[in-house]
Amino acid sequence: MSDQTTPQDPRTQQPGPQSQSAEQIPHPGLTEQMDRRPDHGEETYRGSDRLRGKRAVITGADSGIGRAVALAFAREGADVVLGYLPEEERDAQETVRLVEEAGQRAVTVPGDVRQEAYCTGLVGTAVRELGGIDVLVNNAAYQMAQDDGLLGITTEQLDRVLKTNLYALFWLTKAAVPHMEAGAAIINTSSVQAFQPTPQLLDYACTKAAIIAFTKGLAEQLGPHGIRVNAVCPGPIWTPLIPATMAPEKVEDFGSDTPLGRAGQPAELAPVYVFLASQESSYVTGDRIAVTGGRIL
């Protein structure tokens, strides 16, 4: 769990938008390129064996939400298989360091989830190296803001967004389910965009809405087999994807329009994934949990 022994004001416990750099970084974005690094829970997350012996696959695990989830899972006792793009190797190795520092095993599988063969191979590696899969976290995603909205979205961009955010979800889950037993969990990363789409992120928002439908339908299908399926809906979260895909003026004010007045940190999301992966959520399936700083879904 997170270290919360001292009550803190949620508006100020993390830096506000005024401290964010308005500069952009090249896509896909590395943590080391950011002027203000995200908080993944390195100094605050304290585990309590809630996932002891679990075997997890996490996509988009090199940085941001994926790194925070991998760190938390490891400190809760899980071994993890990390999926990420080859160009994000430096970030991924830092995630490996954090997992191994927690005393758990990290298996790296670089590749592109837009390729079905990679998704199938990622699951195969998990089965071969860890002996099975208890938790699948479908977290990898792609977005690219377009000021012209619909008219600015090229076919190439639409294809990349759909394949990264949706096709991979189907491929990975379809490959993983035959290796999952009763008690396993699938956690999909959706977004507040599924409910409050930003015009500049229309294609991305559509995929995040589809993930909600996928989650609900799959939960109905797999419930009789004892496999739970849920989604997490982040709001504005400070990760490398933000300065790598948004205009500088949007980056500078990112998250300031939430009731809490700031962007969230990956460390503030990780406990939700731990909850959904653990037996504490044994009667929760087909649902979504919002972590939005107060934005209403």
Q: Name the residues annotated as catalytic.
A: 204
CB atoms inside a 10 Å sphere around CB 148: 9
- Among residues 74, 217, 200, which one has the least CA distance to residue 137? 74
- Among residues 209, 235, 230, which one has the least CA distance to residue 275? 230
Residue entry with tokens 């400070």: 238
Please give the structure tokens belonging to residue 171: 């491929």
Determine the Cα–Cα distance for residues 293 and 233; give it in Å rounded to an integer.
11
- Among residues 244, 257, 250, 252, which one has the least CA distance to residue 292? 257
Please give the structure tokens belonging to residue 169: 């979800």
- Among residues 288, 138, 262, which one has the least CA distance to residue 297? 288
> Counting every residue, how long is the chain?
297
Determine the Cα–Cα distance for residues 43 and 53; give it in Å rounded to an integer.
23
Please give the structure tokens belonging to residue 89: 């190797």
Q: Which helix (H) or strand (E) holds 243?
A: helix 241-245
Please give the structure tokens belonging to residue 253: 């004010």
Single-letter residue type at 13: Q
Query: What is the DSSP code (8-state) at residue 17?
Result: G
